[in-house]
Structure 1
Amino acid sequence: MALTQIDHLDAEKDECIDDCFAAAQACEWCADQCAEKGEGMAKCIRLCRDVADLATMHARFMARDSNFDSELAEACAGACEECAEECSRHDHDHCQLCADVLEDCAESCRNMMG
């Protein structure tokens, strides 16, 4: 059965799931790269790890049509925004890419809050 046949996943929710998984992937990569940079990157690493966990959880809750996905959407959007702000402060390519991906995810999650 194709995922497009899951009846509770409209285009907006499907896009948010994709954005959440992209955010998790970018954050895991960014956190790993920041760990190699060493000092001064602890906040970026912590926020990236939080977003990776929240984003994957939010995507899973949307996929199962959970009653709690609106609350997770709000938490995920807020975490994405805070992490994007932190990542954008660093000149590293991985941080800049992560910030861009997180902005998209935050917007998708905000759209899911209603």
Structure 2
Amino acid sequence: MNYQECIDACLKCMTDCEYCLEKMIGKNSHNDCPHCCRECLDICDLCAKALARGSKYSAQYCELCAEICEWCAEQCAAHDHEHCQKCAESCRKCAEECREVAMKIAA
């Protein structure tokens, strides 16, 4: 099974979260941004690696990645900053791809 679209979504999300995290350093936040970005970029990295190597735990990584990405999207979308909005968009796309892959693997 080819997981390249999901891997690409994870890598894009990871880099957008890293950028958002960097831009939020020293700024006040009324929610879990930028903390969610750290969690999100870490799980996206793990998920992409698991998919690339065909880990038997790929479905579980994808499920957790989708859950964390959805949380991060919600947190970042609450901010008006362009980098937060971009991060939220990447997180939503990654969550969608991860859920789709997890369902395919489980089937």
Show structure 2 runs of 5+ residues with no match: none
Equivalent residues, number = 103
Q: Counterpart amino acid of 1:71?
A: Q
| Alignment partner of 2:36 out of 42, 47, 54 | 47
Go from structure 1 to structure 2 and tell me whether the alpha carbon gap of 1:41 and 1:53 turns closer, same or farther (over 3 Å shift): farther
Question: Counterparts of 1:71 and 1:60 in 2: how far apart (Å)?
Answer: 13
Structure 1: runs of 5+ lacking an equivalent: 1-7
Q: Which 4+ residue blocks in structure 1 deviate beyond 3 angstroms?
A: none
| Root-mean-square deviation over aligned CA pairs | 1.2
| Alignment-derived partner of residue 94 in structure 2 | 105
**Who wins on radius of gyration, i.e. which is larger?**
1
* Superposed displacement of residue 28, structure 1: 0.4
Matched, 1:26 2:12: no
The 8 Å contact of residues 16 and 109 in structure 1, kept in 2 or not, is answered as yes
Taking structure 1 as the reference length, the TM-score comes to 0.86
How many percent identity over aligned positions? Answer: 38
Matching residue of 2:5: 15
Per the normalisation by structure 2, the TM-score is 0.91
CA deviation after TM superposition for structure 1 residue 41, in Å: 5.8
1:17 counterpart letter in structure 2: I
